[in-house]
């Protein structure tokens, strides 16, 4: 193993790159584009392109919610929602800031980029032996989960009501008993049920209401369905394994070691408080679909992107197991453009034709995108940009690399 690491370091040095790549300290160093081999004029063209393609949705994200997800069954927001800022971005090359626009220090919702933090929590649990294998079924890891003693809540229409005296049972149906950690991570579990007053069928429901409660379940791993209730199931399962609030674990094991600011916050819902080892703990959400999720700055998004792009390593320190990053970037059989949540892959260059096939992106609604290009050691954070503009943005940034 040590011989292999030495050989890798030697090969890296021969390519003219430092054996231990540069990572930012508390004050992130900047370089001019020319200092890192980029054309400043072309990089500016990329920034103008991004700023001109601001998403058309309202900046008032509560208004936006009720124009979009809020129109679904059980669509009422149950977590915090924060109005967003202007189009924003940061470009990192070789670990240095080379360009930025908008309000990169502003803390905004990052929506489903949060899912990559959920899967990171599972990866760290696997790395520490708290989860023996991602192919294990999840049910045997779960203890009874009790709501905290808060007033009984009821979602609109009377459905989804919960009672603090009744344990939450996530995996007590024949179908749910065979669901594994892997299928939850890949969004192929087809988990059935209601969590925090949100039935899984109510997230992006089909146009056949008669089937919402009655359809046959697909075998776990057989079909891909992007579903926030199931992501929240995974977050609650991870909380059960860690027996600590996930934001606390994330701060200690990831965000503090990579020098993130103290401004990010990870929220759950009004009704996602449970009793855990004698204290009230909030189970966090995997996005902002009903409010909540990660509230974070573009600078801190860029730090996380740099960490995942470099295989979970921060300088000489392995923060996330390298094997976990490789698994996260492995195409899902039934959805080759998706790895573990929320690693979007450029398999066969289908997602972003103008980018290398090795590019992957943490994406959330908004659009929020943390674009990772390991071949060129570039991270691009683009916030509040039209989703169909990402390929054009990547194309323009890569065009700035001096040959």
Report residue 149 CA to chain centroid gap.
Answer: 30
Residue 387, CB-side half-sphere exposure with 13 Å CA sphere: 10
Q: Where are the beta strands (DSSP E) in 256-366?
A: 265-276, 279-284, 293-296, 313-314, 317-318, 343-345, 360-364
pLDDT at 346 (0 to 100) = 98
pLDDT at 14 (0 to 100) = 43
pTM of structure: 0.92
What single string gives the DSSP state of each residue in 347-399? GGG-S-TTS-TT-EEEEETTTEEEEEETTTTEEEEEESB-GGGHHHHHHHHHH
What CA–CA distance (Å, rounded) separates 395 from 311? 23
Contacts 24+ apart (CB under 8 A), 98-102: 98/30, 98/31, 98/32, 98/33, 98/36, 98/38, 98/43, 99/33, 99/43, 99/44, 99/46, 99/47, 100/298, 101/47, 101/50, 101/51, 102/51, 102/298, 102/383, 102/384
Domain ranges in the chain are 2-106+294-399, 115-245+267-284
pLDDT at 66 (0 to 100) = 93
Averaged pLDDT in 10-residue chunks for the chain of 403 residues: 36 50 89 97 98 96 92 93 97 98 98 98 98 98 85 42 73 97 98 94 88 90 97 98 98 98 97 93 97 98 98 97 98 98 97 97 97 98 97 98 89
Q: Which of 283, 308, 322, 327 is nearest to 182 (CA)?
A: 327
């Amino acid at each position: 193993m040590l011989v292999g690491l030495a050989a890798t370091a030697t090969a890296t040095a021969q390519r003219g790159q430092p054996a231990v790549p540069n990572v930012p300290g508390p004050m992130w160093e900047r370089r001019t584009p020319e200092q890192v081999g980029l054309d400043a004029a072309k990089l500016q063209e990329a920034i103008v392109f991004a700023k001109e393609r601001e998403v058309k949705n309202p900046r008032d994200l509560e208004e936006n919610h009720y124009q979009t997800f809020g129109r679904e069954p059980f669509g009422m927001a149950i977590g915090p929602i924060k109005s967003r800022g202007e189009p924003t971005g940061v470009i990192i090359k070789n670990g240095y800031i080379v360009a930025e626009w908008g309000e990169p220090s502003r803390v905004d919702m990052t929506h489903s980029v949060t899912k990559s933090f959920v899967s990171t929590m599972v990866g760290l649990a696997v790395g520490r032996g708290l989860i023996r294998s991602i192919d294990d079924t999840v049910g045997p890891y779960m203890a009874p989960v009790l709501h905290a003693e808060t007033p009984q809540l009821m979602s609109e229409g009377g459905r989804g009501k919960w009672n603090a005296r009744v344990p939450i049972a996530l995996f007590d149906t024949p179908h749910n008993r065979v669901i594994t950690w892997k299928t939850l991570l890949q969004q192929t579990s087809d988990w059935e049920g209601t969590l925090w007053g949100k039935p899984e069928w109510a997230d992006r429901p089909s146009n056949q209401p008669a089937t919402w409660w009655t359809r046959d379940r697909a075998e776990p791993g057989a079909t891909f369905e992007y579903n926030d209730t199931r992501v929240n199931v995974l977050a609650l399962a991870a909380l059960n394994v860690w027996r600590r609030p996930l934001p606390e674990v994330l701060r200690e094991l990831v965000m503090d070691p990579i020098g993130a600011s103290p401004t990010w916050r990870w929220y759950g819902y009004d009704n996602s408080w449970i009793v855990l080892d004698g204290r009230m703990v909030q189970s966090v959400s995997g996005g902002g679909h009903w409010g909540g999720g990660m509230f974070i700055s573009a600078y801190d998004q860029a730090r996380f992107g740099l960490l995942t792009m470099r295989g979970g390593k921060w300088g000489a320190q392995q923060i996330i197991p390298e094997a976990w990053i490789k698994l996260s970037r492995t195409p899902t059989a039934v959805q080759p453009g998706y790895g573990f949540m929320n690693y979007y892959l450029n398999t066969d260059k289908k997602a972003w034709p103008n980018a290398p096939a090795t590019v992957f992106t943490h994406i959330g609604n908004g659009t929020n995108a943390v674009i990772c290009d390991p071949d060129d050691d570039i991270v691009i954070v683009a916030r509040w940009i039209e989703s169909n503009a990402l390929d054009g943005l990547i194309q323009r940034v890569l065009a700035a690399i001096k040959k």
